[in-house]
Amino acid sequence: MKVASGVLLRAATGDDLQGVIEVGQQTWPATYGPIAGKDYVAMGLAKWWTADATIPAIRAGRVTVAEYDGEIVGMTSVGPLDGKLALWKLYVLPEFHSAGIGGMLMRASIAKAKADGYDEMVLSYLDGNDNARGFYEHYGFTETGRESTGGGVPDSVWIHLPLSNHPGETVLDGQHA
């Protein structure tokens, strides 16, 4: 399925709240159930995919949604972390995977981070989320460290992407364009 040409990326508004939360509710069980278990999924949904957790990020303009045929099919959420830009969430509804939408969201996040003057993007994924690891490696991210979560949950693997030297960037006379 290739739908990316019909997909619109835009900043989320308050009207998107339920659609954004729905992305979490649909992607978390499928993504983390097999590697971290039901309790971790329930914890994450209760902590990070509520209205209280989502509204401030939307208000701050840190949430981007991918809309297809009037439906929110993917999203990202970003925020500053120690002078770098953290990609806190990147999720595409399972039935829309491998259609180019995650790539659109990733490229838009990188472009926005550069435009906002960041020279590094960071994020963590849960060890065992091999699909996410392969996806991020595809965009040039490399591992910087691991964090133990405890309670039988897999480690968080931190990765980063230096933006100033990102492949594909045009370099003219030693200046980054």
Ligand X SMILES: CC(C)(COP(=O)(O)OP(=O)(O)OC[C@H]1O[C@@H](n2cnc3c(N)ncnc32)[C@H](O)[C@@H]1OP(=O)(O)O)[C@@H](O)C(=O)NCCC(=O)NCCS
Ordered alpha helix ranges (H), the chain: 17-36, 38-48, 51-59, 101-115, 130-138
Q: How many residues does the chain have?
A: 177
Binder among 35, 43, 68, 97 for ligand X (CB under 6 A) = 97
The dihedrals phi and psi of 93, each to the nearest 5 degrees, come to -55, 140
Residue 107 corresponds to which amino acid? R
Interface characters, 21-40, with ligand X (x: CB under 6 A): ------x---x---------
Pick the closer one to ligand X by CB: 90 or 163.
90
One-letter amino acid for residue 15 of the chain: D
Count of Cβ atoms closer than 10 Å to residue 15 Cβ:
8
99 sits near ligand X (criterion: CB under 6 A): yes
Tell me whether residue 58 or residue 73 sits nearer to ligand X (CB atom): 73
**113, 132, 153, 159: residue in contact with ligand X (rule CB under 6 A):** 132
Q: Which residues bind ligand X (CB under 6 A)?
A: 27, 31, 90-92, 97-103, 125, 129, 131-132, 134-135, 138
